[in-house]
Copies of this chain bind each other. A is one copy, B any other.
Amino acid sequence: MTLEGKSLIGQQTVSGKAGKIRGIDPATGEPLEPAYAGAGQAEVELACELAWAAFDSYRETALEARAAFLETIASEIEATGESLIQRAMAETGLPQARIEGERGRTCGQLRLFASVVRAGEWLDVRIDPALPERQPMPRVDLRQRHIALGPVAVFGASNFPLAFSVAGGDTASALAAGCPVVVKAHSAHPGTSEQVGRAVQAAVAKCQLPEGVFSLLFGAGNEIGQALVSDARIKAVGFTGSRRGGTALMTTARMRPEPIPVYAEMSSINPVFLLPRALEARGQALAEGFVGSLNMGAGQFCTNPGLVVGVKGPHLDTFVEAAGKAVAASAAQVMLTPGIHSAYENGIGALSAHARVREVARGQVGETPNRCQSGLFVTSATDFLAEPVLQEEVFGSTSLVIECTDSDEMHRVAERLEGQLTVTLQLDDGDIEAARALLPTLERRAGRVLVNGWPTGVEVCHAMVHGGPFPATSDSRTTSVGSAAIQRFLRPVCYQNLPQGLLPEALRDDNPLGISRLMDGKRDA
């Protein structure tokens, strides 16, 4: 595919007048062609105008038509073929198998949302029929469904150039909810973004939807993102990235005349608790599993295990020693961008220099630019509890082991954790009661609790929660992965005493959509 280096606004290709952006091959540090013309206020204005014009029509598309649209996006992405894979590899330094797997995940996610749209659970239909004879007062007919919030601004993430980017989970769930989407492309992978954007643009045309259902804007710096979130026609925001970036968008969104929800997935260190019997029985194997998870994708996952908690003693020593050896042997992988690499170097430098932290091992040094040298560090629970800075995420393959004196101290560490996407328990049969005692704390601190697995790898399914208390996300009531992500972009509306002919299809007596409904509080499906 020939890349044009321009924003996609509705069915148009628009060249902005703001600063140019270029992708960079992080493996070499070389810039990639073409340069992307940055969009400005005029392009934000046009994209929002088209999105608003599309909204009332798009949000009432038939379930089947909307599902088919999501499936068409998936097919169009697949049709970009090798061109997309090669460009994504060049822009991210990620290997082919990973990018291919991520494409599969992205298209699978679009198809999952197509099935979610068809099933209609997201409409949360509730019908309380009139009770004209009720005493002391009759009840009128009341029916509830959910409708789309409005156009959504989506910010692509750098670390998943497909699955959390232009047609990733935020876009798929917003489109599934009936919201037009305006994407601000991540500047780290503009060519990948353009190709996926063209696939969505083609799907809009094929499905004969209003063009404003989707736009893709390129732009350096924060200005275009701020302009987008400030626009009165944008009614919600999806974001995956840094805590600083996410909280800046939260501030902008709440300073608007009409505040809007921001779904920012920001930072998490994903603690792993090694319970005593498991640690005793399989410290070596745990170390191997842990370092495998730590090194995956150069540690550039939201769910990377950045903290390990265990009770001090010979079994924890065995684990640390084995993990240290594995870290020392770790090859230096290319990181996503020079900026991420330099932030990693700063973060790990601060850990190394910290007076209360001991360096256990560092991985191999890279010979070429932007390589991630893994790291493993140890500190005591006392120091961890005294130093909030040790909870800050270092984005990359590094982790900190916390030595506790006993299970009470382990509990205190758990209680003091900031909000997390995940917490993991490694346990054996003899640890069940200890786990039971920890669970109430852990589920208060995280969106997902795992047993005997590793936090990397987030299944896209109905039961997934990729979310958690602040600062893991801006809104712990939601998930950004899995079918429940659609609920972020919906709000309930109640219809009182409407004639059948005016009611939305979902609420009509004859249930033409054939969906599950709550009738007088009881499920009728």
Binding site for B on A (CB under 8 A): 56, 60, 101, 115-116, 119, 121, 124, 126-128, 136, 139-140, 142-144, 147, 149-150, 250, 254, 258-259, 261, 419, 432, 435-436, 439-441, 443-444, 446-453, 459, 461-465, 467, 469-471, 474-479, 483-484, 490-499, 501-502, 516, 518, 520-523, 525
Q: Is the CB of B140 within 8 A of A501?
A: no
Which one of B446, B447, B498, B523 lies within 8 Å of A516 (CB-CB)? B523
Q: Measured between alpha carbons, how far is A101 from B477 in the docked complex, in Å?
A: 35
Q: Is the CB of A523 within 8 A of B525?
A: yes
Q: Is the CB of B452 within 8 A of A494?
A: no
Task: Specify which chain B residues have a CB less than 8 angstroms from the CB of A476 in the assembled complex.
Answer: 149, 491
Name 15 interchain pairs, CB-CB below 8 A, sorted by A: A126-B484, A140-B459, A443-B493, A448-B494, A449-B495, A450-B496, A451-B499, A462-B518, A469-B491, A477-B491, A478-B492, A483-B521, A484-B492, A516-B523, A523-B525
Q: Measured between alpha carbons, how far is A452 from B130 in the docked complex, in Å?
A: 14
Q: Is the CB of B461 within 8 A of A121?
A: no
Q: Is the CB of A121 within 8 A of B518?
A: yes
User: Which residue of the partner chain B has the closest CB to A497?
Assistant: B451
Question: In whole Å, how far is A422's beta carbon from the nearest beta carbon of chain B?
Answer: 8
Q: Per DSSP, are chain A's interface residues mostly helix, strand or loop, or mixed? A: mixed
Q: Is the CB of B493 within 8 A of A462?
A: no
Task: Specify which chain B residues have a CB less than 8 angstroms from the CB of A119 in the assembled complex.
Answer: 521-522
Task: Specify which chain B residues have a CB less than 8 angstroms from the CB of A495 in the assembled complex.
Answer: 448-449
Q: Measured between alpha carbons, how far is A492 from B60 in the docked complex, in Å?
A: 28
Q: Measured between alpha carbons, how far is A435 from B493 in the docked complex, in Å?
A: 16
With A461-B139, A479-B492 known as contacts, the answer to whether A453 contacts B121 (CB < 8 A) is no
Q: Is the CB of A461 within 8 A of B498?
A: no
Q: Measured between alpha carbons, how far is A254 from B127 in the docked complex, in Å?
A: 35
Q: Measured between alpha carbons, how far is A448 from B128 in the docked complex, in Å?
A: 14
Q: Measured between alpha carbons, how far is A29 from B304 in the docked complex, in Å?
A: 64
Task: Specify which chain B residues have a CB less than 8 angstroms from the CB of A474 in the assembled complex.
Answer: 259
Question: In whole Å, how far is A508's beta carbon from the nearest beta carbon of chain B?
Answer: 14
User: Which residue of the partner chain B has the closest CB to A256?
Assistant: B470
Q: Measured between alpha carbons, how far is A477 from B476 in the docked complex, in Å?
A: 14
Task: Specify which chain B residues have a CB less than 8 angstroms from the CB of A465 in the assembled complex.
Answer: 144, 492-494
Which one of B101, B126, B491 lies within 8 Å of A463 (CB-CB)? B126
Q: Is the CB of B449 within 8 A of A494?
A: yes
Q: Measured between alpha carbons, how far is A436 from B502 in the docked complex, in Å?
A: 6
With A447-B493, A518-B121 known as contacts, the answer to whether A261 contacts B477 (CB < 8 A) is yes
Which one of B128, B475, B499, B523 lies within 8 Å of A523 (CB-CB)? B523
Task: Specify which chain B residues have a CB less than 8 angstroms from the CB of A419 in the assembled complex.
Answer: 258
Which one of B126, B149, B441, B490 lies within 8 Å of A462 (CB-CB)? B126
User: Which residue of the partner chain B has the closest CB to A104?
Assistant: B136
Known pairs A128-B463, A150-B444, A448-B493. 14 more at Cβ < 8 A?
Answer: A101-B136, A115-B521, A119-B521, A126-B462, A139-B459, A142-B463, A144-B462, A259-B474, A432-B501, A447-B491, A462-B518, A462-B521, A465-B494, A479-B492
For A101, A492, A521, the residue with the greatest tally of chain B CB atoms inside 10 Å of its CB is A492
Task: Specify which chain B residues have a CB less than 8 angstroms from the CB of A516 in the assembled complex.
Answer: 523
With A451-B496, A469-B258 known as contacts, the answer to whether A490 contacts B461 (CB < 8 A) is no
User: Which residue of the partner chain B has the closest CB to A60?
Assistant: B440
Q: Is the CB of B477 within 8 A of A128?
A: no
Q: Is the CB of A494 within 8 A of B451?
A: no
Q: Is the CB of A477 within 8 A of B492?
A: yes
Which one of B447, B496, B498 lies within 8 Å of A494 (CB-CB)? B447
